[in-house]
């Protein structure tokens, strides 16, 4: 028999494009109550506005009813700015979707493990960072690794990697830390399925399957531009029309954010020690300049 997720209330940490998208599919498709938190109230407000627009568009297109849209809206509650994760004590699962930074994620998971019940599933939407390292942060310092408390704390950590734009992309990559229990994996898988996603499983290796393949592709496209192999437009058009990709690799890198691409590429490079993952110097310079793509208004393209 397929496992049930048993999630009635979900906490989402981070209301950027990913967190917002996760909140959206959870409220609309999995029909769970969502408690959304971001340290920037402005980010939450712009995210909620965007969610309203998406729901209105789906109603106008006849994909969902007005009642579905209103119910989804009502299911999303904003967590008070001061309480932060303390206001998530009653949730059954948390999905963390903050920026791709190991120590930031470790601090968040340490706090979550201290504030929330040991039965709460702690999922990370990380796109490349080791889940095993994140899970280790939930074990209190000085605790014996073989103790029941240490085992239980880390066993509920799992990787749930959604793709951008979350409402559109049909995949979730499920990643097991060394410490993750089978029950956590089964429930996380069932939850992703309830969100309307197909689930693939990857081992906890740098970049998992998705980004171990995608990031070198984007990095290589930037190296082509760096070497003058072809123009920006010719690189992207070659892949769009020659291989039927919805976006060329340069365009896709800017859609993801060149800073995120660089962070993932660095994780691949340092995590494997393999020179084939060396980030392109041009990619580093673009990030140095703050030319990150769509989110900063400028990258290889301009976004007026």
Q: Binding site: residue ranges?
A: 14-19, 38, 100, 105, 127, 164, 295
Say whether 123 sits in a helix, a strand or coil.
Answer: strand
First to last CA, the chain: 52
Does 62 engage in binding with ligand CAA (CB under 6 A)? no
Least spacing, CB of residue 210 vs ligand CAA, in Å? 6
In the stretch 189-228, what mask flags binding to ligand CAA with x, by CB under 6 A?
A: ---------------------xx-----------------
Residue number, 176 or 202, with CB nearest to ligand CAA: 202
Question: How many chain residues bind ligand CAA (CB under 6 A)?
Answer: 16
CA distance 226 to 223: 5
In the chain, how many H helices and how many E strands?
A: 12, 8
Catalytic annotation, residues: 127, 161, 173, 211
The C-alpha atoms of residue 257 and residue 255 are separated, in whole angstroms, by 5
Output the residue with the shortest Cβ distance to ligand CAA: 127
Q: Which residue from 36, 29, 31, 34 is spatially nearest to 9, judged by alpha carbons? A: 34
Contact between 168 and ligand CAA per CB under 6 A:
yes
| Dihedral pair phi/psi, residue 265, rounded to 5° | -60, -40
Quick one: which of 88, 43, 51 has its CA closest to 70?
51
Q: Which is nearer to ligand CAA, 91 or 268 (CB)?
A: 268
Which residues contact ligand CAA by CB under 6 A? 54, 57, 61, 127, 163-165, 167-169, 210-211, 246-247, 252, 256
């Amino acid at each position: 028999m397929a496992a049930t997720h048993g999630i009635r209330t979900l906490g989402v940490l981070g209301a950027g494009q990913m967190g917002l998208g996760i909140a959206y599919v959870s409220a609309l498709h999995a029909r769970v109550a969502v408690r959304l938190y971001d340290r920037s109230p402005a980010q939450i407000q712009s995210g909620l506005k965007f969610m309203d627009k998406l729901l209105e568009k789906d109603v106008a297109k006849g994909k969902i009813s007005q009642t579905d849209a209103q119910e989804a809206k009502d299911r999303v509650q904003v967590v008070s700015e001061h309480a932060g994760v303390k206001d998530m004590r009653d949730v059954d699962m948390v999905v963390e979707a903050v920026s791709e930074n190991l120590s930031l994620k470790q601090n968040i998971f340490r706090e979550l493990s201290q504030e929330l019940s040991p039965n709460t599933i702690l999922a990370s939407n990380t796109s490349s960072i080791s889940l095993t390292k994140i899970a280790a942060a939930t074990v209190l310092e000085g605790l014996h690794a073989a103790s029941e408390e240490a085992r239980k704390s880390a066993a509920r950590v799992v990787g749930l990697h959604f793709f951008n734009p979350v409402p559109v992309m049909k995949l979730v990559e499920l990643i097991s830390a060394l410490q993750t229990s089978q029950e956590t994996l089964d429930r996380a898988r069932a939850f992703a399925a309830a969100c309307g996603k197909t689930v693939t499983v990857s081992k906890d290796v740098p970049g998992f399957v998705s980004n171990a393949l995608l990031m070198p592709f984007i990095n290589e496209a930037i190296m082509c531009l760096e070497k003058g192999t072809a123009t920006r437009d010719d690189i992207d058009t070659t892949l769009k029309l020659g291989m039927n990709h919805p976006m060329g690799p340069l365009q896709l890198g800017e859609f993801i954010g060149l800073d995120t691409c660089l962070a993932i590429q660095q994780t691949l490079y340092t995590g494997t020690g393999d020179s084939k993952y060396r980030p392109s110097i041009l990619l580093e310079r673009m990030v140095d300049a703050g030319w990150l793509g769509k989110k900063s208004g400028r990258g290889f393209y301009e976004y007026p």
